[in-house]
Structure 1
């Protein structure tokens, strides 16, 4: 509870990963947005009170999600980076959307503005699971139907 010292722990080498436990808490499953929320929150804790507008780099929260997530799950030797010997887990983003238009650099767009809606292609262990924004390995209509039904069940219990 209170203000999490995530940035301080990250900078000291603690294995911190970012995630979400569902849309009921922060309203998103989008890890890009979670990373941005971490950046804003940690900026407020570490930098804004002392008038340091650059106290949290744009890169650090995304590294927490990718590299830190792999370390926190104990899979850092297999995941968390594009390196020889690691799984080929790759997320490709489209940079031709309106959000990306304002950025001179794709890297800055990635750290500053990207979101799940920019995801174009995803490979997991070298296998394409999302292509042209379409999930190839799951019946998304079925998942949506089951999620709506479950949400209705839960809503009735909570009333």
Structure 2
């Protein structure tokens, strides 16, 4: 249940081992996602209707954009409620759980949802604070998919 944001070993509350080194089928490893390609990461509150509706839109977008990975992390809330929500909504992307707010603090989450559009390699291209309209979401995903990997020549970030 704990979120690991450590960049090196023994960083106290951040984690015992570097986060990117933790690999398992039952672990949502954000590094593993952005190593393969661009990622849309949604940070959300499970009891917010606006957040869950935005994640429904993300799920629809994920089906249209197989070249982009999608993932979400529930910020606090009750784990059983999050599991029920994921099951009931039938989201196709992985959903993690931040029970103590470590990831929310690392990303500076202040509004729900927060959508981070991350290029392959890990640099954040864009961030949307609060729910955005479907067309705006689609435009941001299209721009992310077209941007290329972090550090690639001839590309620009945003």
User: Which bracket does the TM-score occupy, shorter chain normalised?
Assistant: under 0.3
Greater C-alpha Rg: 1
The answer to which structure has the higher strand fraction is 2
* Superposition TM-score, scaled by structure 2 size: 0.25
Relative contact order, higher structure (CA 8 A, sep 6+): 2
The answer to which structure has the higher helix fraction is 1
